[in-house]
Chains A and B, each alone.
Chain A
Amino acid sequence: MFAKSIRTTGASLCLAAALSLAGPSSAFAGKEVDSDWPNMTWEEILAEAEGQTVNWYMWGGSDIINSYVGNWVAAQVKERYGITLKRIGIDSTVDAVNKVLGEKEAGVSRGGSVDLIWINGRNFQTMKQGGMLFCDYMQKMPNDQYINWDDPTVAFDFGIPVDFCEVPWGRAQMVMVYDPTRLENPPKTIPELIQWVKDNPGRFTYPAPPDFTGMFFVKHVLYSTAGTYEPFIGPFDQTVYDDVAPQLWSTLNDMAPALWRRGETYPADRAALHQLFANGEIDFTVATHPDSVGKDIDKGTFPPTTSSYVLDDGTVGDVHYVAIPYNAAHKAAAMVVANYLISPEAQLEKAKPSVWGVRTALDLTRLPDEWQQRFIDLPRHPAVVSDADLARAALPQPNSEWVKPFEDGWRKNVAAKN
């Protein structure tokens, strides 16, 4: 309120009026995030945050996630900090990025409509490169102590240095999903899987890149073909690409005739892949959140006999974050919400299989013993891979600079040839 009334009435003339308009809680501090940010204490931020509304733009395609954020988190921040959390469901994070970009182009550098975005990977890269992010606020957040910024999977988002411009919120890792009643011994490595596909024509496929899930599969074949992931977590290197790409395309083209519908067409996205698997047309699908497999069985999306596993040669995982745009109207409240999201209780609630069931972004060794135990004691759906197995098989995401060349390459060399 305070910030907004100053901005709209303009200049110091109206300071008295602004003070009388703003509530007593925000007036006493006399500082506001937009101008006095570096000198503010956490208490002053809390004071400014009270009574603000946070517009949180996030993908809205899951009723479970919508409920966790819209009911549980919203009620908690309302009660604890007097903040109204408004979840704004969008179909794709790009919509929120474009919105901030549109505001930037229109010269709205203050009072922007997006306060918080659920983000990672290329969208983060776009916003960071475009100077569209508010950064360096983690040091003030009390719960930052639970984040291990020395962990490269946290400090690098798809190979891009996070540089304290986003707050880690949860972890994901790809798992293979299959039905043991149809297939007793699923292939355990990428080369075995490719052989299995050739031996069982029509029973496997992957979504066409640039679909996110489809690119997951291409990345695994890439790592397997190259024999290492190391060159791909750094910046793009044309010589490495020229060296490995032809092998990758020939591997994918070799297996294409044995894919579902002879590789003449590919499913559009993960939802389509899941449906093919659930309907028994193919024998595998992949999940990018290990715990979503249990959820999808409970929801009736997958048959009850479904199970999941990780490949012995590893599966790619990543961290997802929340970020505050540079022009957010309610930065103080957005920081308070972000801080609450990485509190042990909010992370534990999120990790419960009955709620959302996503792995925590916190470094458990930094938590008090009783909290560590609560995370260890979390029940796990029998179809979901254990944390130990996931950790053992974790591979990093390639740097996002590599993604576009491989997407274009797939279109030219695989899609066009079959």
Chain B
Amino acid sequence: MVLAGLREVAAEGGSRALWRRRSLWRWLAIGLLLTWLILPLVPLVIWSFSFSWFFPSTLPSRWGMRAWEYAFSPTASVLPALWDTIVIAGGTVFLSLLIGVPAGRALGLHVFRGKRIVEFLVIAPTIVPPLAVVLGIHVVFIRLGLADTVIGVILVHLIPVLPYVTLVMTGVFANYDPEFEDQARSLGAGWVRTIWYVMLPAIFPGLMVAGLFAFLISWSQYVITLLIGGGQVQTLPLLLYSFARSGDNALTGALSVIFILPGLLMLLLTSRFLTGRNQVIGGIGR
């Protein structure tokens, strides 16, 4: 978002006075957003380096590296958990786009009988608590041998993720003009080349937004990971929750920082794609 804002500011250098006024508001908004995002994280960082910190001191009375030493020790298994969380979130993003893009295209471009029912079914997982569904799925997964596996966890993560991916892609395709595909086809492109050179570039910003949603939602799952992964699939939220509940603030702080960084990184990496200037598509990120 920040980078996108900057680029727009640079591009619209027309009237200086207007530019100045608009840029002031823009910077104010950016500053506010940053404060909002970053300020709550500051105490976590301080806690992670604290040894003892009691009310009413503003800063810890003693500093220490205990939390970080433990977090990177083999006992804590934070690094394997980080890897598992990345694999699961990555797998969830890939599968959800594989399902969500065609679904979004169908819902965004076509009118068909029972479309309202399909739309309702797509958003149903956001209304029904996933836990209720997953309890039943667990028994099935045990029989199929999917319980306690990374694949099983990726599959259940699709439940809370798919509504968001499908809805975002439906919005993208609602503004998509398929006649550009017809042009490509009439110029001799096959359907693979049409998808690759026409559809994908056009929906790319939407794809990024949907992927980011999928990544972040999968990244923060706790209950359904615990149930299907059965503790054998250890993700960061599981480790984090154990320490948060036991009241070890230093360790909770350190793990929270490790937990939050990849999300922020993804946000920064994808934000530059969110400006979306393409004549095939009506508008997202404008």
Chain A residues with CB under 8 Å of chain B are 55, 57, 59-63, 66-67, 70-71, 88-92, 95-96, 99, 102-103, 105-108, 113, 269-272, 274-275, 278-281, 299-301, 303
Indicate whether B153 reaches chain A with its CB closer than 8 angstroms. Answer: no
If A89-B231, A301-B52 touch, does A63 touch B248 (CB 8 Å cutoff)?
yes
Whether B62 lies near A55 (C-beta < 8 A) is no
Contacts of A301 in B (CB 8 A): 52, 247-248
Indicate whether B199 reaches chain A with its CB closer than 8 angstroms. Answer: no
Whether B142 lies near A102 (C-beta < 8 A) is yes
B side interface size, CB within 8 A: 38
Task: Pick the residue among A61, A66, A279 that contacts B55 (CB under 8 A).
Answer: A279
If A60-B242, A280-B54 touch, does A300 touch B75 (CB 8 Å cutoff)?
no
Whether B230 lies near A113 (C-beta < 8 A) is yes
Task: Pick the residue among A63, A89, A96, A303 that contacts B70 (CB under 8 A).
Answer: A63
Query: 5 tightest A-B contacts by CB?
Result: A271-B247, A61-B246, A300-B52, A279-B55, A106-B142
Q: A-B pairs with CB below 8 Å: how many?
A: 96
Can you spell out 6 A-B residue pairs with CB atoms less than 8 angstroms apart? A62-B246, A66-B75, A67-B70, A90-B231, A90-B242, A91-B245
Bitwise, B245-282 to A at CB < 8 A (1) or not (0) is 11110110000000000000000000000000000000
If A106-B143, A280-B55 touch, does A88 touch B76 (CB 8 Å cutoff)?
no
- The CB with the most chain B CB atoms within 10 A, among A67, A99, A107, is that of A99
Stretch at the interface among B111-119, B157-165, B233-241: B233-241
Indicate whether B50 reaches chain A with its CB closer than 8 angstroms. Answer: yes
Task: Pick the residue among A63, A88, A92, A103 that contacts B234 (CB under 8 A).
Answer: A88
CA–CA, A299 and B243, complex, Å? 14
If A55-B232, A60-B239, A275-B247 touch, does A105 touch B139 (CB 8 Å cutoff)?
yes
Whether B247 lies near A91 (C-beta < 8 A) is no
Contacts of B224 in A (CB 8 A): none
Indicate whether B193 reaches chain A with its CB closer than 8 angstroms. Answer: no
Whether B50 lies near A300 (C-beta < 8 A) is yes
If A88-B232, A113-B230 touch, does A70 touch B247 (CB 8 Å cutoff)?
no
CA–CA, A272 and B247, complex, Å? 7
Task: Pick the residue among B53, B66, B245 that contacts A271 (CB under 8 A).
Answer: B245
Closest to A279 in B: B55
CA–CA, A108 and B140, complex, Å? 12
Contacts of B77 in A (CB 8 A): 70
Contacts of A279 in B (CB 8 A): 54-56
Contacts of A57 in B (CB 8 A): 231
Indicate whether B51 reaches chain A with its CB closer than 8 angstroms. Answer: yes
Indicate whether B147 reaches chain A with its CB closer than 8 angstroms. Answer: yes
CA–CA, A88 and B231, complex, Å? 6
Whether A113 lies near B148 (C-beta < 8 A) is yes
Contacts of A55 in B (CB 8 A): 232
Closest to B243 in A: A61
Whether B245 lies near A61 (C-beta < 8 A) is yes
Whether B232 lies near A113 (C-beta < 8 A) is yes
Whether A95 lies near B231 (C-beta < 8 A) is yes
